[in-house]
Amino acid sequence: MGELSREEMKNTLRVLVATDCHLGYLEKDEIRRHDSFKAFEEICSIAEQKQVDFLLLGGDLFHENKPSRSTLVKAIEILRRHCLNDKPVQFQVVSDQTINFPNTFGHVNYEDPHFNVGLPVFSIHGNHDDPAGVDNLSAVDILSACNLVNYFGKMVLGGSGVGQITLCPILIRKGSTSVALYGLGNIRDERLNRMFQTPHAVQWMRPEAQEGCQVTDWFNILVLHQNRVKANPKNAINEHFLPRFLDFIVWGHEHECLVDPLEVPGMGFHITQPGSSVATSLIDGESKPKHVLLLEIKGNQYRPTKIPLTSVRPFEYTEIVLKDEPDIDSNDQNSIIEHLDKVVQNLIEKSSKRVVNRSELKLPLVRIKVDYSGFMTINPQRFGQKYVGKVANPQDILIFSKASRKGRNEVKIDDSERLRPEELNQQNIEALVAENNLKMEILPVNDLDVALHNFVNKDDKMAFYSCVQYNLEETRNKIAHDADSLKFEEEDLILKVGECLEDRVKERNIHSKNDTVFTSSIQFSKDFGSKSSTAVGSAVSFSDDEDTVKASGSKSTRGRKVSSSAAEDTSTKTSTRGRGRGRGRGSSSSLKQTTLDAALGFRQSQRSATAAVQSTVNTDAMNSASSGEPRENEVEEINDSSENDESLPSKGRKRTAPRGRGRGSTQSKRGRKSDNSLVKRTFVGRDNGDDSEDEDNARKLLNKSQPRVTRNYGALRR
């Protein structure tokens, strides 16, 4: 650069900043399919022409979470054409690269001896190309594996409650200039908002002070991709959440181009919002000229230079109110059409005058927002047919709206929503439920909203299945934990499920509304399939007692058995529940046991009923000792089955006394009455001739009662 001397160039770090390229947007539209790629090609060309040290992208490089092969190939071709060359890289990364780039290779791409990288590209992910699936991979991971992009800012949510993240900067040094580059890929705004307001949930790592370089000598840059302005402050990130030691912030996700850095009062840092390089929504904010930012950093000072993008398709936007136009008759539809035709023609002429290079004249985008209060509407598709070949969007030139009755407040909300193009013309489940005064009785509204988002935007075919299974198991555990299942009838079960839903929603609100992220589809289907194939409801004990060996090695032919390998496999799968998509909650303990029951509503307090069943069986066995050895084997078989199900203590080991009884061991006593009338009807007063029927009834009752049991780790049981 002619303005800088050679000595200054050695100490000046030059960065080109761009966000929201949305590669692959409208790739099936014959007119606009190449727009995103042409803009990205121009951005890379500017980076080469300005001889920048690296290109910094602020998320949403791809428009789709799973971009097509055509989109991937074109993106790789552009990056390969501009990034792989013999130009030397003038800066060095001095931080621990295995932490900054947690992939297989663990280093910045230009240090790979097998590649000649002349233009390094650093990128975070956005909400469109965020990590998903079992392996928590993003489309940007593909470019990272190809050694074309340095992918950073992928967070692993750890801790409990709302979660915990740690931001470790990439430490870059060029001459006497030191830059700490922090990256924060997109996290759901509501969750990140709560994390910033939770103490120690977001931790920032600072570079250590060294000789000749103090902590204050570093120029700190943050790149993030979140909502910046929102009618609901809980769904956006406030600038005041960010630490004051930051110097410069690159804000992605907002498509309106506000590239000139603005200082945040009282915070000390500046924010730039480059906006998108391609118009993905025909709104006023997208009609402003598109720019990228050249950032020159020397020491603790920086100089911004905005560079316009010339390859972007021209876009003209206007708003008209029909009742304010004097030449329109409210009863004459032709007068409305004639007036709108004049407006469209004026916008097309205005667009053609702005074009600098006539050889690359493009069909413009035209959008007219029409307030038709007191007037009749016309067919937008029929109106646009006459402009085929004249504009790029003939099918949606017009959009009709009415003035809000609520007045200015509604207008303010609309203005803030303009800045969020991917959310326009969409309605979430929460809004639908609120509008229609519905009451959710089975599934929480937030969970359905997340499932719908994953199904539509991330093409997750199992999103709703995972949502239902997650809530089904949570409801089972809640019911099993609260009360005795035998104390309410089937018709009360629906009411109980509704109560559980309310309790679970309240618990989430109390515990910082811990974000619900369902298990990823593939792993969940494997998990659920393996559990279903096992004997349903068989309790797995983690005890390495000799009783467990005895129970698993019993000669019972009809009682259920749990082999050690099956127990290990089930415990492993149980401990991994809740993982997936990179945002899920880990299991609270590797020793936590979960039993998948075939029916709802069986609780731990059924231990007393099961003990009563076994006690009565033992009494029957003692009374019918004259029936011979087959009867003894039969009782032994039932005891073995209950031992597998209940993991009863061995001789000399005490067990908590059942509720409603005095202290004592699990051995039965003659004459003790059962607390449960159903058990009494089943076993008391039976003849010896009904032995087989007794056995079947006992086994059915024992199969029903499946509380979660731990023998050695009883203190962990809730």
The answer to whether residue 128 is catalytic is yes
Question: What's the confidence (pLDDT) of residue 210?
Answer: 85
C-alpha distances in Å from residue 520, one per residue of 63, 454, 458, 517: 21, 10, 12, 9
* One-letter identity of residue 438: L
In sequence order, what DSSP letters do the residues of 339-370 get, joined into one string?
HHHHHHHHHHHHHHHH-S-GGG--PPEEEEEE
- What pLDDT score was predicted for residue 451? 83
pTM of the model: 0.62
Q: Residues with Cβ < 8 Å from 371, sequence gap 6 or more?
A: 319, 320, 321, 322, 323, 401, 402, 403
Measured in whole angstroms, the distance separating CA 302 from the mean position of its chain's CA atoms is 35
pLDDT on residue 480: 76
The radius of gyration computed from the CA coordinates of the chain, to the nearest angstrom, equals 33
> What are the phi and psi torsion angles at 662 (to 5°)?
-80, 180
With cut-offs at 50, 70 and 90, classify the pLDDT of residue 245.
very high
pLDDT, position 691: 55
Question: Phi and psi (nearest 5°) for 298?
Answer: -140, 115
Cross-strand pairs, 158: 164
Closest CA to 366 of 330, 342, 406, 394: 394
- Indicate which residue of 125, 128, 255, 291 is catalytic: 128
Q: What pLDDT score was predicted for residue 173?
A: 96
Confidence of residue 371 (pLDDT cuts 50, 70, 90): very high
Q: How far is CA 138 from CA 32, 64, 66, 95, 180, in A?
A: 25, 10, 8, 24, 24
Instruction: Tell me the mean pLDDT in the region 363-391.
Output: 93
> What do you get for the CA distance between the two ends of the chain, in Å?
68
Nearest to 53 by CA among 14, 9, 81, 109: 14
- Who has greater pLDDT, 158 or 674? 158
Q: What is the mean pLDDT of the chain?
A: 74
**9 has pLDDT over 60:** yes
Looking at residue 570, its pLDDT comes to 42
Contact 369, 319 (CB under 8 A): yes
From the list 127, 121, 123, the residue with the least C-alpha distance to 19 is 123
Structure tokens, 504 = 């679970």
* 328 vs 718: CA distance, rounded Å: 73
Q: Which of 99, 128, 25, 704 is nearest to 459 (CA)?
A: 128
Query: What are the tens digits of pLDDT across the range 25-64?
Result: 999 999 999 999 999 999 999 999 999 999 999 999 999 9
- pLDDT of 142 higher than 50: yes
Does position 574 have pLDDT exceeding 70, yes or no?
no
Q: What is the dihedral sign for C-alpha 252, 255, 258, 260?
A: positive
Residue type, 225: H
Confidence band (pLDDT; 50, 70, 90) for 15? very high
In terms of average pLDDT, the best of 97-106, 142-151, 519-528, 702-711 is 142-151
Q: Stretch 259-263: mean pLDDT, rounded?
A: 96
Query: Quick one: CA dihedral 66, 70, 76, 79, positive or negative?
Result: negative
- For 510-523, how does the pLDDT look when each residue is reduced to its tens digit (9 = 90+)? 654 444 444 444 44
Lowest mean pLDDT among 155-159, 284-288, 342-346: 155-159
